[in-house]
Structure 1
Amino acid sequence: MKNLVLWLALFAASSQLYSQTLYVSDQLTVAMRSGQSNEYRIVKYLVSGTSLTQIGTSEDGSYIQVRTRKGIEGWVQNQDLSQQPSGRAMYKTAQGTIANLEGKNSALKQQLNEISSKHASTQDKLTSLTSNNNEVSKELENIKAISANAIQLNEDNQRLLEENQMLKNEVEVLSTDNQRLVDNQESDAFLNGAFAVLIGVMITLIVPRAWPKKSTDWA
């Protein structure tokens, strides 16, 4: 029982030790064989930069048992493996990263151009709105001035109406006084005429009596 526990512990430790990621070195192709020597058949050729998972190692450490991402297992010489990606793989990765960054940079430039265009459009709209606002402000000032003039004209008109009404009242008073004077003049003229007639009648009646009649020679 103790031996079984010890064996399981060693297996777990070896699994943790071997389950690391290795990469094929900068050689063009590397043979993955079915055993721990060149005498075993080639299972697959691995190109430089291929990512492999270590699952075991030979007793002398010259061969490493690996598994590909597709699950193919085999043995590869330790000298053909590296814990770091190969320069070629790193170059390809860098190229891909550069291409990706260039694509993002191009997209960002396009977004920047769109934002700049929108900003320019917004600026034009702002300028137009500012101009319209200035025009509206001028119209408002004109309306205020016209309103002020209209108010002044209304006040002047009201004052003139009041003065006109006062003049009408004065005209009516003067007309009444004039009519009264005319009536008085007519009455005075009538009285004067009547008095003159009366005087004439009196003269006609009194004067002949005041003078004696002369005798005529015809008698």
Structure 2
Amino acid sequence: MIVKLLTPHLLPFTLVGLVAFSALFASSQVYSQEMRYIRDTLFVPLRSGQSYKHRIVHKGLESGTPLILLEESEDEAYSRVKTNSGIEGWLQTQYLSDEPSARAQLESFKLENDKLKAQSATLKKELNTISKQYQDAKSTMAQLSKGQQSSEQELAEIKSISANAISLNSENKDLLQLNQVLQNKVDMLTTDNQHLNDKLDNDAFLNGAFAVLIGVFITLLVPRLWPSKSSEWA
């Protein structure tokens, strides 16, 4: 789409000295719907035909007004255009420009600049938020690192304690085994001692019985072996 604007050195309403052209539409060349803009002048009237004598269908198009180019006359002196509101008419091609007016471009630049400023402010705000989140994350990471070092130290202590506990457990098992061996020996010695005591008791009993027998034997035998007094005196 092509856009045109009014030139400032041309007067908008004093369009005199124009020659009427014959064959209003028959001699016109049809173009595709391209965009045109009113040049940098004040206002341009839109007429029903290709001369200043034709009826005005629009009192004046302001500079920078976008128009759709429908067709041009055979000599390209007039152009039939259409406004955004749907009004169609003819005006001199010299009032059209392929580019928007400087004022329209300036307004467009201002709007774009305002838009960029708003985007910049938004991005700055987001950047501040991200920066704060980064600082918070950095602080959290430092705390986590400190906590990790503490956890590693505690883990090392636990490992050391666990190693000592494992060593103590092994030593305890060895002591239990040794204690069991000693307990077995004690049980064996206790059994042997009981056997000896029983044997001693039996020996004492036998010795006592033997002594009793000897005493009885002596009591019975000695009187017989010893001579009686009556026989000695006789």
Q: TM-score range by the shorter chain?
A: 0.5 to 0.7
Is the contact between residue 32 and residue 46 of structure 1 (CA under 8 Å) also seen in structure 2? Answer: yes
1:73 maps to which of 77, 88, 95: 88
**Percent of aligned pairs with the same amino acid:** 39
Q: CA RMSD in A?
A: 4.2
* Higher RCO, 1 vs 2 (CA within 8 Å, ≥6 residues apart): 2
Per the normalisation by structure 1, the TM-score is 0.65
Is the contact between residue 58 and residue 64 of structure 1 (CA under 8 Å) also seen in structure 2? Answer: no
More helix by share: 1
Per the normalisation by structure 2, the TM-score is 0.62
Residue of structure 1 in register with 2:39 after alignment: 25
- Return closer, same or farther for 1:67/1:186 CA change in 2, 3 Å cut-off: closer
The alpha-carbon deviation at position 50 of structure 1 amounts to 0.7
Q: Indicate the SS of the match to 2:30.
A: helix
The alpha-carbon deviation at position 116 of structure 1 amounts to 4.5
- Return closer, same or farther for 1:167/1:98 CA change in 2, 3 Å cut-off: same
- Return closer, same or farther for 1:20/1:195 CA change in 2, 3 Å cut-off: closer
The alpha-carbon deviation at position 147 of structure 1 amounts to 5.2
Structure 1 position 182 matched with structure 2 position 175: no
The alpha-carbon deviation at position 194 of structure 1 amounts to 3.9
1:47 maps to which of 48, 62, 77: 62
- What are the residue-to-residue correspondences of 1:155-166 with 2, within 5 Å? 155-166=170-181
- Return closer, same or farther for 1:38/1:141 CA change in 2, 3 Å cut-off: farther
Q: Indicate the SS of the match to 2:52.
A: coil
Aligned length: 205
What letter matches 1:25 in structure 2? R
Is the contact between residue 24 and residue 48 of structure 1 (CA under 8 Å) also seen in structure 2? Answer: yes
Name structure 1 gaps, 5 residues minimum.
1-7
Name structure 2 gaps, 5 residues minimum.
1-25
Separation of aligned partners in 2, 1:202 and 1:178: 35
